[in-house]
Amino acid sequence: MSDRIPVAVLGATGVVGQRLVAMLESHPWFELAELAGSDRSAGRSYGAVCRWQLETPLPERAGSLTVRRPEDGFSSRLVLSALDAASAERIEPGLAKAGHVVISNASAHRMAPDVPLLVPEINWDQLQLLAEQRHRWPGALVTNPNCVVAALGLVLAPLARNFGLESACITTLQSASGAGYPGVASLDLLGNVIPNIPNEADKIEAELPKIIGQGPRFSAMTTRVPVVDGHTALVFVRLGTETDEDGIVAAWRSFRGRPQELELPSAPRSPVIVMDESDRPQPRKDLLRGGGMSAIVSRPRRCPVHDWKFVVLGHNTLRGAAGAALLNAEALVVLNRAHERLRHA
C-alpha cells in the first residue's frame, strides 16, 4: 500500500481535471484515489469517458478508475475540485459540510469573505480565514484565482510591496485551453482574435485586490487568441514611489514566499522569472519555465502615460488552475501537520 495521501478529483474529465489527473500521477505526497464526473460519465471507467487532451498519455491506473457521481460522497478527506462555477456553487458547500477539505479551482466561492483566495507565495495569511469557516461547516474550502490572475498576482505583488502599486491597466491574450473543452469553436478562433471574454475582466478586477490587498485600482480588457496553452498579459502600471528598471527586476527576481521556504513539491524555485530578451516571454517557447508554476515576465519599459509597462506570461492550466490547486493542497497539508504538532505538543 502507498503511504501517499489519497485525494479525490471533481470535474475530472475537463481540461483542468485532466491536468490534475496527470500531475497526481507522479506527485510525491498525493495519490489519486477517486474521481468524479457528470451523470453521463458516472459508472464507467475514466479512460472510456475522458476525451484526453494532453500531450502526455493518460496514466494507465487513472484510466482504469471508475468515475463517480459527486453526490456519492468520497472516502478521501482531500477533494480537488475542477468543477465549472455553477456545479461548484451547488456541490462544494455540501462537501465541506461533510467534513472534506475542498481545494477548488472554480470561481463560485472565490469572493466569499471567509474563503481564502490563495496564492500561497503572496497571501498565506488568508488561511486564517479557515477558522471563520468553522461556523459554516466542519470541513474547509480554499480557492485559487482565475487562470490569468494567478500569474498577474505573482508579478504585481512584489511591485506593491516594494514600491506601492497605485493602478494597473491590463490587456490579456488568452489561450484556447482557458475556455475548457469543447470551448471555443475553431471557426471562431482560427486566424482570428476574439476581443472580449465574457466576465473575465470583472474577475481580474475583483480578484486581484483580494490577493494583493486593497488600494490599487485595476482595469482589464481580455481577448482570446489562437494559442493552445498560456495566457499573455500586457500591463501598464503606476507605482507609489520612484524606482528604475533594475530595481523592478531585482524585486521580481528576489521574490520568494512560504512555498519556497517550505520547499513544497509544486512550488517553483522562482515564482517570478524575468527574461532579458525584448521579444519574450512567448507562450509556445517559454511556458514551461519554472515547470509551468512561475510567472514569466519581460523587463519593464518606461511608460509615457503610467510609469512602467511589461509583459506577463502564465501557464493557465498549471499555475492558473491545476498546479495552483495542488500547491494550495500542499499548503493545507503543511498547515494541518503544524496544527497536529501543536495539538500533540
Looking only at the bridges linking them, the beta strands covering 308-314 and 301-302 are antiparallel
What radius of gyration do the chain's Cα atoms show? 20
CB of 289 to a second copy, least distance (A): 6
CA–CA distance, 91 with 10 (Å, rounded to integer): 10
Cis peptide before 145 (omega within 30 of 0): no
What is the nearest approach in angstroms of a second copy to the Cβ of residue 175?
9
Q: Would you say 193 or 338 has its CB closer to a second copy?
A: 193
For a second copy, the closer CB: 66 or 223: 223
In the bound complex, what is the minimum distance in angstroms from residue 337's beta carbon to a second copy? 34
Residue 13 Cβ vs a second copy, minimum distance, rounded to whole Å: 14
Residues 6+ apart with CB under 8 A from 286: 275, 280, 296, 313
> If DSSP codes are grouped into helix, strand and coil, which group holds residue 299?
coil
> Are 298 and 275 contacting, i.e. CB atoms less than 8 angstroms apart?
yes
114's CB contacts (< 8 A; 6+ apart) are: 129, 132, 133, 135, 136
Q: CB of 296: closest distance to a second copy in angstroms?
A: 10
Sign of CA pseudo-dihedral 118, 123, 127, 131: negative
Task: For 19-32, give one letter per residue: b (16+ CB within 10 A) or e.
Answer: bbbbbbeebebbbb
Maximum distance among all Cα pairs of the chain, rounded to whole angstroms: 62
In the chain, what is the straight-line distance between the N-terminal and C-terminal CA atoms, in Å?
29
Q: How far is the CB of 239 from a second copy (least distance, A)?
A: 14
Distance, in Å, from the CA atom of 192 to the CA atom of 12, rounded to the nearest integer, reads: 30
Q: Is the peptide bond before 120 cis (omega within 30 degrees of 0)?
A: no
Nearer to a second copy, 48 or 338 (CB): 48
Which of helix, strand or coil describes residue 343?
A: helix
Which one, 93 or 281, has the nearer CB to a second copy?
Answer: 281
Do the Cβ atoms of 233 and 172 come closer than 8 Å?
Answer: yes
* Residue 230: CB minimum distance to a second copy, A: 8
Contact residues toward a second copy (CB under 8 A) are 15, 52-57, 167-169, 171, 173, 176-177, 181-196, 198, 205, 217-219, 221, 223, 225-228, 232, 234, 236, 278-285, 287-289, 298, 303-306, 309, 311, 313
Catalytic (active-site) positions:
147, 231
Give the three-class secondary structure for 113: coil
